[in-house]
Amino acid sequence: MTLHTLADLLGTDETPGNDLVLLHGWGMNATVWDGLPADLGAGLTQHRIELPGHGDSPFPPQLGPGTGALWRWADACLAAAPARAVWLGWSLGGLVALAAALRAPKRVRALIMVTATPRFLRAVDWTPAVAEATLDQFQAGLLADPAGTLSRFPGPPGARQRPGPGGPAHPAPGIGPAARRRPGRPGPGARTAAR
């Protein structure tokens, strides 16, 4: 295994396609990356893509849930991404970035996964994941108290706190707006995309 710095992965000013795709986690939106410095590297262009149904991104019915939803989400992100870039995904964004790398390896120069796993739901062949009962409890909490449930959901490492729409601080930028369900957006049942 080779350890690289972000500068190693991104190259220099002269490196064509010096792009970084940023994918947020479930229940968040692109504002989760607001704490990043605008200039992470010379000539670097950040592409903050919102996952389908998150933030201002639409959720067309053909994107899921169900079998193949993860691949459809990866395709949607690839359609919004530059031709070639380093991809950084946090949590569900890491899972989608991994799927994009598998789907289009020539488009993903490097993959950075932050607190991400190749599978969220525990299975016989993948035990370091969340039990289905835990996800069901989370879904029930979202239905009963969306803002309260999301306020306990951890943000990415180093994310700064800011007040949500009701005033109290949330663990990460973007949680407050994400707690408001918008018509046509996936509800808690959309978790099947991460299976």
pLDDT tens for the chain, residues 1 to 195: 666 666 666 665 555 558 999 999 887 889 999 988 877 776 789 999 998 888 888 777 676 666 688 898 999 999 999 999 999 999 989 999 999 999 999 999 999 999 888 887 888 998 888 888 887 887 788 778 877 876 776 655 555 433 333 333 333 333 333 333 333 333 333 333 333
Exposure letters 55-75 (e unless 16+ CB within 10 A, then b): bebebeeebbbeeebbbbbbb
Query: What does the pLDDT read at residue 86?
Result: 93
Residue 24, token pair as written in the block: 């947020």
In CATH, what number is assigned to the domain containing residue 58?
Answer: 3.40.50.1820
Residue 164 confidence (pLDDT):
34
Residue 87 lies in a domain: yes
167 and 18 Cβ atoms separated by less than 8 Å: no
CA distance 103 to 153: 29
Whether 41 is in a domain gets the answer: yes
* Domain span holding position 56: 6-185
Whether 72 maps to a domain, the answer reads yes
Q: Establish if 180 belongs to a structural domain.
A: yes
Whether 194 is covered by a domain: the verdict is: no
Structure-block tokens of residue 15 = 């490196």
Q: What is the DSSP letter of 141?
A: H
Judge contact between 89 and 113, C-beta under 8 A.
Answer: yes
Task: Using CB atoms within 10 Å of the CB of residue 39, give its burial: 0 to 12 exposed, 13 to 18 middle, 19+ buried.
Answer: exposed
Tally the domains of the chain.
Answer: 1
Supply the pLDDT for residue 66. Answer: 65
Residue 86, φ and ψ in degrees, nearest 5 = -80, 135
Asked whether residue 1 is domain-assigned, the answer is: no
Query: Is residue 192 domain-resident?
Result: no
193 is a domain residue: no
Residue 85: the pLDDT is 95
Q: How many CB atoms lie within 10 A of CB 46?
A: 18
